[in-house]
Structure 1
């Protein structure tokens, strides 16, 4: 559901602050979903002015959220690289 909501929001909303808020709520409510963290990191990297240390904090939070399986863990690591 969150992924569909994010698809909709990215297509129809232009406010980066609102989109960032949606991403934050998504990862707060479903921290085990690696895809949400990856999309959040990619969004912040490409659509917001964010330095490397802030981006690292996002991926560190993702890795500490206990990804549900090894593949999710690897996906998060690869997204960060």
Structure 2
């Protein structure tokens, strides 16, 4: 465990789960940061931790991130047939 309380083991999030999850504050999409094992809400500028493969989607548990910490813009999602 890191000094700041984060679990340093690399966690993974199922891509299908990532498609279903949304930021509880903005209802916007989340991006996976494999380096820190967090789900990033670019709009809310919050990083939600993933512990033992379980996303902790509580704003009180999220870390505020700066513009430097925000990942580069995500590629556009492809939409299926209407």
- Is the shorter-chain TM-score for this pair beyond 0.5, marking a shared fold? no
Which is richer in helix?
1
- Greater Rg by CA: 2
- Could you say which structure has the greater relative contact order, defined with CA pairs below 8 angstroms and 6 or more residues apart? 1
More strand by share: 2
Q: What is the TM-score with the length of structure 2 in the denominator?
A: 0.28
**What is the TM-score with the length of structure 1 in the denominator?**
0.28
